[in-house]
Amino acid sequence: MNVGEPSHTAIQVAACRAAHLRFDPAPHLLEDRFAEKLLGADAERLITSYADGGSWILLENRLFLPFRGRFGEDRIAEAHAAGVRQLVILGAGLDSFALRRPPELGGLRIFEIDHPATQGWKRRRLAECAIAEPEELEFVECDFETTSISEALRSSGFRPQAPAIVSWMGVVYYLEKETVRRALAELAGLLAPGSAVVLDYQLPLVDLPQRYHDIFAQQSAYLLRSGEPQVNRYRPAELREAIGVAGFARADLPTREELHQRYFAPIASQIPMSERFGMAMAWR
């Protein structure tokens, strides 16, 4: 990450969300009309890099990243319906949920936790676009290399005694498994009963079709140059066990078939659903 700039990952996630809205037919998995604005002056180049005719892996990301956001936001809505009024977004990047929060999710306090460089960029872009920061949103700066999640949240208005839903999307595969284990245990110890963590994970390369093997070296080199290599992968049973060992009461890991039926079957996109990733919920 360069000083004063957001992470490469945060930029690409926003670009995919904007590209999904521009290039894919309705109904969309996620309608993020703030993503393009948050990208800044380089928005057009970033978005068009995901246009039709490009690499299949970029097209796959164009659909997967909005889906990941949609999956998380559906879980947030379910938690709100169950009475949860705190949302923590770990590694928030250029996430715009706080700007798009549906009226029916009133009373939801949102805590965005991320590196100061990414948060600084985002807040400058909001000011430059004359987009007001929502009153219910609290930015919590955290350098995860020096500050724990608990320390960051305890320095904010977060109430550990009240249930919360934690969104931990697009982060786990950039962390060593021991770091993931410690973070899950920390969250299990911090969160009140009735809380949940929603996250995604990447599957082992050996379990994936050949096309992923063919592009693995190129993709790994690209991420390494960006300073954000992906360093771990889980099978569903392994992640389920890790969640239980960390202290959570239950883990839900929907199958690819279940996710496809709910999210991909109803849309008109010709881009296939990614086979690299899975989704999980950890219940406190």
58, part of any domain = no
Q: Which residues are 140's β-sheet partners? A: 113
* Predicted confidence band of residue 3 (pLDDT cuts 50, 70, 90): low
For 37-76, the pLDDT digits (tens) are 999 999 999 999 999 999 999 999 999 999 999 999 999 9
36, part of any domain = no
38, part of any domain = no
For 187-196, the pLDDT digits (tens) are 999 999 999 9
What integer pLDDT is reported at residue 200 of this predicted model? 98
Single pTM value for the model:
0.95
54, part of any domain = no
Residue 231: CATH number of its domain = 3.40.50.150
Neighbours of 52 (CB within 10 A): 11
92, part of any domain = yes
How many domains, the chain? 1
Instruction: Kindly list the distances between the CA atom of residue 56 and the CA atoms of 17, 64, 212, 266, in Å, as whole numbers in the listed order.
Output: 16, 12, 10, 21
13, part of any domain = no
Q: Name the nearest CA neighbour of 46 among 22, 80, 71, 82.
A: 22
188, part of any domain = yes
Q: Is 37 helix (H, G, I), strand (E, B) or coil?
A: helix
Mean pLDDT (the chain, rounded): 94
Instruction: Kindly list the distances between the CA atom of residue 143 and the CA atoms of 29, 115, 176, 187, 224, in Å, as whole numbers in the listed order.
Output: 31, 5, 16, 17, 20
157, part of any domain = yes
Residue 152 has pLDDT above 80, yes or no: yes
- Tokens at 197, concatenated: 């963590």
Give me the domain span that covers residue 77: 64-283
